[in-house]
């Protein structure tokens, strides 16, 4: 067996464990390549049956338009249920403060909406497309990661995870985050997308876009959610996105890669990590991701 076959078999096994062990699971769907790969894996795990879980999208309101269009098309073709909850509504209902600054990211606010939707539907397991190669705190997380009543992750108290036996037993109020593609790297995901001929949102491929040049030199796609002033430089560039998050905190990379094959070639030569190239919010502090995860972030 090829290593992609092995990674695929492992992920399918994990998805079926979720279906077998939990009563009300959900698949957290962001519209990015990792969660799209997860839907393909779910088809392999459960067809000709239905998915034993809905797709749940936490909509920050700062999405790229292409992502929402892709999401709706994919859900229609899969014939599965989609639940959308908007950060906008959480802000209003809880009286939260909108983030300020020039590049206001609603990323941290997603946690509130996520914890609310878990409570609303009493989800006992949330499947996510996180990978251990993305970030150093994620590298420490188990495949089945138990969260307490408040959605918190305690890295010191993680359950041992032995062989491929996954213990999803929880008490009321607790829930489990499950990461079936933990052992995949960014390149593995792209190789899988190529092999399975999976269609992706347009923003992953080279296109011309109006961008703001950040002090770091990174390029941010121009959007109505940015609070720009006269000093900001706006340029037209051929770019693509390596990862899909909020349009307010996800930088583009300059690239002519117009196909999955091109992107894989790009990636083989890339000297900068996925998050390093694209994320603005991880750079705020050394343990930004760990802090967010402890509080219940996906």
Partner 1 sequence: MDILRFITCGSVDDGKSTLIGRLLYDSDSVSLDVLATLEKKRNATNSTDVDLALLTDGLKAEREQGITIDVAHKYFTTPRRKFIITDAPGHVQYTRNMVTGASNADLAIVLVDARQGVIEQTRRHTLLASLLGIRQFVLAVNKLDLVGYDEAVFQQIVADYQEIAGQLKLAHVVAIPLSALHGDNVVKRSKHIDWYHGPSLLEHLESVPVPADANPHEPRFQVQYVIRPQTEELPDYRSYAGRIQSGTYRVGDRVRVWPSGLETVIDVIEIDQKAVASATAPQGVVLSLRDDVDVSRGSTIVPVSAHPAVVRELEATLCWMDERPLRAGRKLLVQHHAAVVKASVTTILQKTDIETFESQGTDEAKLNDIVRVRLKTALPLVVDEYRQNRATGAFILVDEQTGATLAAGLVAATDPEYFTQEIPVEPAFSI
Q: Per CB under 8 A, does 273 bind partner 1?
A: yes
> Could you check whether the bond before residue 143 is cis, i.e. omega within 30 degrees of 0?
no
Residue range at the interface with partner 1 (CB under 8 A); choices 49-57, 225-233, 235-243, 244-252: 49-57
255 and 239 in contact (C-beta within 8 Å)? yes
158 and 58 in contact (C-beta within 8 Å)? no
- Measured CA to CA, the distance from residue 125 to residue 9 in angstroms comes to 20
- Measured from the Cβ of residue 145, the count of other Cβ atoms closer than 10 Å reads 23
User: Which is closer to partner 1, CB of 148 or CB of 202?
Assistant: 148
Q: Per CB under 8 A, does 6 bind partner 1?
A: yes
Instruction: Put residue 218 in one of left, alpha, beta given phi > 0 → left and psi -120 to 50 → alpha.
Output: beta
User: Which is closer to partner 1, CB of 158 or CB of 223?
Assistant: 158
Residue range at the interface with partner 1 (CB under 8 A); choices 27-35, 70-78, 108-116, 157-165: 157-165
Q: Give the residue, chosen from 78, 96, 170, 267, that forms a contact with partner 1 under the rule CB under 8 A.
A: 170
What is the nearest approach in angstroms of partner 1 to the Cβ of residue 5?
7
What six digits make up the tokens of 298?
A: 């996906």
With CA atoms as reference, report the closest residue to 289 among 131, 84, 159, 75.
131
Residues that bind partner 1 in the complex, under the rule CB under 8 A = 1-3, 5-6, 8-10, 12-13, 16-17, 19-20, 43-50, 52, 132-133, 135-137, 139-140, 146, 155-156, 158-165, 167, 169-171, 174, 182-183, 185, 270-273, 275-277, 286-287, 290
């Amino acid at each position: 067996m090829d290593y992609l076959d092995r990674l695929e078999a492992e992920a399918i096994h994990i998805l079926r464990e979720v279906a077998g062990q939990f009563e009300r699971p959900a698949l957290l769907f962001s519209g990015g390549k990792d969660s799209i790969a997860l839907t393909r894996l779910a088809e392999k795990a459960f067809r000709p049956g239905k998915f034993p879980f809905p797709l749940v999208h936490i909509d920050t309101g700062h999405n790229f338009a292409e992502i929402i269009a892709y999401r709706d098309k994919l859900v229609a073709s899969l014939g599965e249920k989609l639940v959308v909850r908007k950060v906008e509504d959480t802000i209003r209902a809880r009286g939260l403060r909108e983030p300020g600054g020039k590049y206001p990211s609603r990323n941290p606010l997603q946690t509130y909406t996520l914890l609310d939707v878990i409570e609303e539907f009493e989800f006992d397991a949330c499947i996510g497309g996180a990978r251990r190669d993305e970030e150093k705190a994620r590298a420490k997380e188990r495949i089945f990661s138990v969260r307490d009543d408040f959605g918190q992750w305690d890295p010191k108290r993680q359950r041992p995870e032995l062989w491929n036996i996954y213990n999803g037993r929880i008490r009321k109020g607790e829930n489990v985050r499950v990461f079936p593609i933990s052992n995949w790297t960014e390149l593995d995901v792209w190789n899988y997308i190529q092999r399975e001929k999976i269609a992706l949102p347009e923003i992953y491929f080279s296109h011309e876009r109006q961008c703001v040049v950040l002090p770091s030199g990174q390029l941010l796609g121009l959007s109505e959610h940015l609070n720009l002033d006269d000093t900001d430089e706006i340029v037209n560039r051929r770019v693509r996105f390596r990862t899909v998050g909020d349009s307010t905190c996800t930088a583009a990379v300059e690239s002519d890669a117009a196909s999955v094959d091109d992107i894989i070639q790009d990636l083989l030569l890339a000297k900068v990590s996925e998050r390093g190239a694209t994320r603005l919010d991880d750079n705020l502090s050394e343990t930004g991701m760990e802090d967010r995860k402890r509080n219940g972030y996906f």
